[in-house]
Structure 1
C-alpha cells in the first residue's frame, strides 16, 4: 500500500492516513479537482462548514437521491433527522434527543453484552465471527430495546445492511431493489411491535410530528447505527488486539478516537455563496469535511470529531459507546486469540468509515 492515500475519499481504508491528514489540517483548505471537492481539513474550517446554514446535507433541489425518488426508501430518507433542513429539523432533533436520553447507558450496555454473548455462543470467536458481531450488534441492540423479538434480530440486522447498501451513492439497481424490500419489511415489522417501553417513549415524543415521522426516524436510528457502530466496535477490538486498554471509560474512547477516528469525513453541499474560515465558496460547490484531520489539527482544541458538530451532529454517541462496551465485555469473557486477530486485520468498508475486518476482509 502506498505511503500516502490516493485522495481523501480513499484515506479511511489506508494503513496509516494520519500524516496525510495532519498535512491537510495544517493547510486548512485544499481543492481536489479530480474529485470535484473542497477539503475542509483544519478544525476551524471543519467547524465553520458544519455550523454554516449555507452548507447543507443534501444538494439544493434534491432532498432525496434521484434514484430513490418515488420509493418508500425515498420517503423515509426525506423524513430522517440526519437529512432534514426544513423547519421541522428542530422539533425532530428535540424528539429524537428526548428518546435517546431516557435509557440509562448501563441498560444499553447490559442488553448489548447479553446479545453479544448469545451471538458468540453459536460461533467461533475468530475473525469471521467478530466481523459478524460488529455487523450485527449495533442495530440489533437498538431494535431489541424497541421490542423486536430476539429470534428476528439477525434477520433485522441483515435488512438494515441491505438498506445501507441501497442508499449508498454507488448502489446498483439490484441493491436498490433489495433495499426497497428491506424498507417495506422493516416498516411492517415495526407496526407489529407492542406499544410499550422505549417504543412507547418514542411514540409520545413524536405524537405531534406524526406516525410517518416516527417510523422514518426509528428506521433512521437503526440505519445510522449500522456502519458507524460496526466501525466503532471493530476499532475497540483492534485496540484490544494491540494490548489491554480501559474500554470501560468513555473518556478513553474519546482520546483514542481523536488519534484514530472511525468516521473520517462527511459531505456538505453549498447552497449559496459564502466565505468560511477564509475560503470563498460558491453555490453548487461540494465540501468534504475531514473530521479525522480536524481532530488532529495542532491549532484545534484536541477533541474527537467522530460524532460531528452543529445541527447535524449525531445524537447517539452515548448509545454507540455503551453498545461497544457491551461487546468488549462479552469478548473478554471468551478471551479470543487477540494476536491472531490483529495479524488478520484489514481496512475495508464505506469510504467515510475506517472499518476493520478481521476475517476475509470483505464487508457484508
Structure 2
C-alpha cells in the first residue's frame, strides 16, 4: 500500500486514490479500527447500505449535531430534507424533487454563464481567480434563480461558506458562532424574497407546509450546492486544463465522473442490528459509504455514483451539471492558458469532496 492514502478519509485529497479504492472494492467490507468505521466499498455493499432503512443519515440519539443543537442553525438543520427520515422525509423529498424538476436547465446554464462572465471580467484569469470562481458560482447561480439581488450574491455565497464551516467536524466555537449568524441572515433573506419565478413554483410545491420548512430546505439546498458544486466545477476546469473535451454534453460529464469522482464518500449510522451484503452490523455502528470505490468496483457495472443512491440520492444533479457547463462556456471566451492554469493543481477541500485548487503556488 506504499504511496496509497493514509486511510479512507484522506483518499479524496490523494493524487491517485483509485488503485486503493479498487482494492477496497474487491474486499467489499473492511473494518477500520483506528477510524472506528466500517468501510462499505463494493457496489453490492454500497447499494445495500444506501437502500437500507436501518442505515440513517444521523445517529438516532443525535438528530442534530450537539454543537448547534438549540440554535437557529440547529433548527434549520433538523428540517433539512437530507437529514430527515420517515413520512415527513417522503413528503419533503417529493416537494423538493418537483421543485428542482420545475427549473429549466437552460435557465440555470445561462444564469451561470452570465454570472461567470461578469465575475471573470473584473480580473485576469489566473489560479486564484479560478479558485474564487469555484467558491462563488454554485451558490450564486442558485441564489440568483431564487431571486437574490445581484449585488448581494457574493455575500450570500460567503454566508453559505460560513454555514459550511460551522457544520464541519472540526468546527470550533468561533466557526459555529459565525455560521449561526450567517444562518440567521440567510433565512431572513430567503423569507423576504418576492414570490416570483422559480421561488413562486417552490412555494406552490410546499403549499400546506410551514414557511419555515421551505426556507430551511432552500438554505439546505444552497448549503449542498456549495462544496459539491465547487468540487464538480473544479473537476471540469481541471479536465479542460488537460485538453479539450465536450463539456456541453451531460453524458460526457457522467463518463468522466465515473473515472474521477467528485463526491467520494458519505456516512451512515446503523439504527438496529442487521446483515447487509454479507456483513453483520450492530446498532450504533458507523459506515463510511465509499461511493468512489463503488464506481471503480471491477465486478460491478460502470456507473458514476456522485449524486448518491437510493432514498437519499441528490435530486440536484441536473442543476449542478448545468451550472458547471455554464461556467466552462464562460471560461472559454477569454482563451486562457489552460496548460499553465493546470500546472500546479492541488487537492484541498472537505474530506468527502475531491476539490481542486489552482492558485496554491500564487498564494505562496
Q: Matches of 1:66 and 1:86 in 2, distance apart?
A: 22
SS in structure 2 of the partner of residue 287 of structure 1: strand
2:235 match = 235
| 8 A Cα contact 1:4 1:20, kept in partner | yes
1:258 match = 258
2:92 match = 92
- For residues 39-60 of structure 1, give each alpha carbon's deviation from its aligned partner in whole angstroms, at most 9, with x where no partner exists: 0000000000000000000011
2:200 match = 200
1:67 match = 67
Q: Matches of 2:54 and 2:362 in 1, distance apart?
A: 37
2:77 match = 77
2:7 match = 7
Q: Matches of 1:123 and 1:7 in 2, distance apart?
A: 39
Deviation of 1:86 after TM superposition, in Å, equals 3.5
Deviation of 1:361 after TM superposition, in Å, equals 7.2
1:124 match = 124
| 8 A Cα contact 2:142 2:222, kept in partner | yes
1:219 match = 219
Q: Matches of 2:40 and 2:61 in 1, distance apart?
A: 23
Q: Quick one: structure 1 residues 147 and 242, their matched pair in 2 at CA, closer, same or farther if it must change by over 3 Å? A: same
The answer as to 2:133 corresponding to 1:169 is no
1:277 match = 277
Runs of 4+ residues over 2 Å off in structure 1: 360-363
Q: Matches of 1:278 and 1:324 in 2, distance apart?
A: 39
The answer as to 2:307 corresponding to 1:301 is no
Q: Gaps (5+ residues) in structure 1?
A: none
Q: Matches of 1:120 and 1:306 in 2, distance apart?
A: 28
2:189 match = 189
2:160 match = 160
Q: Matches of 2:361 and 2:178 in 1, distance apart?
A: 23
| 8 A Cα contact 2:128 2:362, kept in partner | no
TM-score, length basis structure 1: 0.98
- For residues 305-350 of structure 1, give each alpha carbon's deviation from its aligned partner in whole angstroms, at most 9, with x where no partner exists: 0000011110000000000000000000111111111112100100
| 8 A Cα contact 1:258 1:302, kept in partner | yes
Q: Matches of 2:28 and 2:362 in 1, distance apart?
A: 34
- For residues 272-327 of structure 1, give each alpha carbon's deviation from its aligned partner in whole angstroms, at most 9, with x where no partner exists: 00000000000010000000000011111110000000111100000000000000
SS in structure 1 of the partner of residue 183 of structure 2: helix
Q: Matches of 1:361 and 1:273 in 2, distance apart?
A: 49
Q: Gaps (5+ residues) in structure 2?
A: none
Deviation of 1:204 after TM superposition, in Å, equals 1.0
TM-score, length basis structure 2: 0.98
| 8 A Cα contact 1:13 1:354, kept in partner | yes
| 8 A Cα contact 1:264 1:352, kept in partner | yes
SS in structure 2 of the partner of residue 322 of structure 1: helix
Aligned-pair Cα RMSD in Å? 1.2
1:320 match = 320
